Amino acid sequence: MFSLLNKLPIFDTCPKGNYTPSAVASWADLRTDLPSYDIIRGGATSPQSPFLDVKSLWPSSSISFLLLSNSIFDKLLIDANLTSRSLELNSSPPKFIAKKLKMRTSGGIIGGRVVVEMRPFKGAEVGKVLAVLAGLPDKIGVPIWCGVDGGGIGVDLGKPLNVRDGSVAVLKDEICIFHVCAYSTSVEHLKLAGGAGGIDQIITSGEGSLLMTDVRLSEL
């Protein structure tokens, strides 16, 4: 419900107790086929994370869902000869807390921080970038903010969530393009749900762990 309220891109869901996303990857086992997994217990990531296999931890009553990764933005832009400098530096887009943004809550349980990704592009390229991303369905490619900095949404560019991404500084001729990071924002809210909602255990993909599906970008 939280993902639907906040228009996070749900790609597929699995029925109760099922672990195969048959609509997008009929061969996959969500318990074993991701590079790594994190376990959230009591509102915090388990110190034993990451896990390489969660088969023995998978509850029979589970309901699983897959979110579309923002990595598809980079693929589409590369195909259009548009590359953000974060990719040129072989770095993931840096992530930040957008302090001025709030997510809609579900049942009074899930709330919390909004995590955004930033991709810097030359000002002359921004119009082309927005045109490419506008072709994605349900407006998932539409940025949450564009500007010379992230002040309008409460982002401090000097404080990336991941220190290794701090090297992606914004140059004078560049514009910052921000998108909500569906994965990181969902994890933030799942931690709150686990702490306040009495959910004993939540299994998520590990940071940066993706499941490659059979669906092509042209089919979205």
Measured CA to CA, the distance from residue 212 to residue 24 in angstroms comes to 9
89 pLDDT more than 90 = no
Question: Average of pLDDT values for 187-204?
Answer: 70
Residues 99-155 have pLDDT tens digits of: 988 776 655 555 567 889 999 999 999 999 999 999 887 778 889 999 999 999 999
Q: Which residues pair with 179 in a beta bridge?
A: 117
Q: Determine the pLDDT at residue 187.
A: 76
Tell me if residue 47 falls in helix, strand or coil: coil
- Is-contact 45 202, C-beta < 8 A? no
46 pLDDT more than 60 = yes
* Side-chain half-sphere CA neighbours of 101 within 13 A: 22
Residues 19-28 have pLDDT tens digits of: 999 989 999 9
Nearest to 39 by CA among 21, 62, 17: 62
In one-letter notation, the amino acid at residue 201 is Q
- Is-contact 145 153, C-beta < 8 A? yes
Measured CA to CA, the distance from residue 189 to residue 110 in angstroms comes to 6
The CA-based diameter of the chain, rounded to the nearest angstrom, is: 53
Secondary element (H or E) of residue 20: none
Global pTM? 0.83
Local structure of residue 138 (DSSP, 8 states) = G
Q: Which two tokens stand for residue 121?
A: 């592009």
Average pLDDT score, the chain: 83
